Homo-oligomer: A and B are copies of this chain.
């Protein structure tokens, strides 16, 4: 007789797999955990995969080969990503969010765990098979959404700083032209990045593109490839495009002082 019932095995397996996205677990891992035969656990896996599909809760994939097993990916299902972003746009349309100087207050949204987790899953969804080594962001506001993207992809997050810090060790510094036209510095710890690896850039806002260009320069210094750039928000202006694989979840027009902001969800968000 089996030590645990199918119900119990499936509950435990759901917890293990869904809380470690994109990580491969072997069948043997669960056989040992439950003291059950491979055939039994295989059936459990099939039931779980089908259930996740039915309820649109992401996908459970079987990976074949020597390093094979199964892995969970919190794929954002059709309609789910768009629904989240429409909700955020509705929150942003509150006119009290327009600040003097034509700035939009959305720091609260950028550090709400549930919202950034949802946005991170949208970003990650396109990159599960891209062999990304790390997510790169520039301090400060993009850190939460970048962290959640990294968690879903099961890769580290690396944070570029505005200046080199003593506790980061030797660093590569570059200068870049900020949106306001000034020269600013961006710094990345030498030991944080492996030469020649692949990065996904995630940040909160693409205004003039200066910060984004700075991050690209930094990656070049490490001979790293940027496979894509993802932003929570971008100004409506396709001329500023600097990477063929550059997208934002939302697009806004320049704010004219005091006027209501025009913000919309980007078309690619499903």
Q: Which residues of A contact B (CB under 8 A)?
A: 4, 6-8, 10-12, 14-16, 18-20, 33, 47-48, 50-52, 54-55, 57-58, 99-101, 103-108, 111-114, 116-117, 139-140, 143-144, 147-148, 150-151, 154, 156-159, 161, 166-169, 189, 191-192
Q: How far is the CA of A140 from the CA of B167 in the complex (A)?
A: 13
Known: A105-B168, A107-B159, A140-B140. A11 touches B12 (CB 8 A): no
In contact, A111 and B51 (Cβ under 8 angstroms): no
Min distance, Cβ A21 to any Cβ of chain B, angstroms: 9
Residues on B with C-beta less than 8 A from A157 are: 111-113, 144
Residues on B with C-beta less than 8 A from A99 are: 166-167, 169
Min distance, Cβ A16 to any Cβ of chain B, angstroms: 8
Q: How far is the CA of A103 from the CA of B191 in the complex (A)?
A: 14
Residues on B with C-beta less than 8 A from A103 are: 166-167
Closest to A48 in B: B11
In contact, A52 and B11 (Cβ under 8 angstroms): yes
In contact, B8 and A11 (Cβ under 8 angstroms): no
In contact, A12 and B144 (Cβ under 8 angstroms): no
In contact, A161 and B143 (Cβ under 8 angstroms): no
In contact, B7 and A6 (Cβ under 8 angstroms): yes
Q: How far is the CA of A122 from the CA of B150 in the complex (A)?
A: 21
Min distance, Cβ A11 to any Cβ of chain B, angstroms: 4
Q: How far is the CA of A14 from the CA of B13 in the complex (A)?
A: 9
In contact, B156 and A51 (Cβ under 8 angstroms): no
Residues on B with C-beta less than 8 A from A166 are: 99-101, 103
Known: A7-B51, A104-B167. A147 touches B111 (CB 8 A): yes
Min distance, Cβ A49 to any Cβ of chain B, angstroms: 10
Residues on B with C-beta less than 8 A from A112 are: 156-157
Partner of A140, one of B48, B54, B148, B161: B161
Q: How far is the CA of A14 from the CA of B158 in the complex (A)?
A: 31
In contact, B12 and A10 (Cβ under 8 angstroms): no
5 closest A-B pairs (Cβ-Cβ)?
Answer: A113-B151, A14-B14, A103-B167, A111-B157, A11-B51
User: What 7 additional pairs, Cβ within 8 angstroms, besides A6-B7, A100-B166, A111-B157?
Assistant: A10-B10, A12-B52, A15-B18, A33-B55, A99-B169, A105-B167, A143-B147
Partner of A158, one of B15, B48, B111, B116: B111
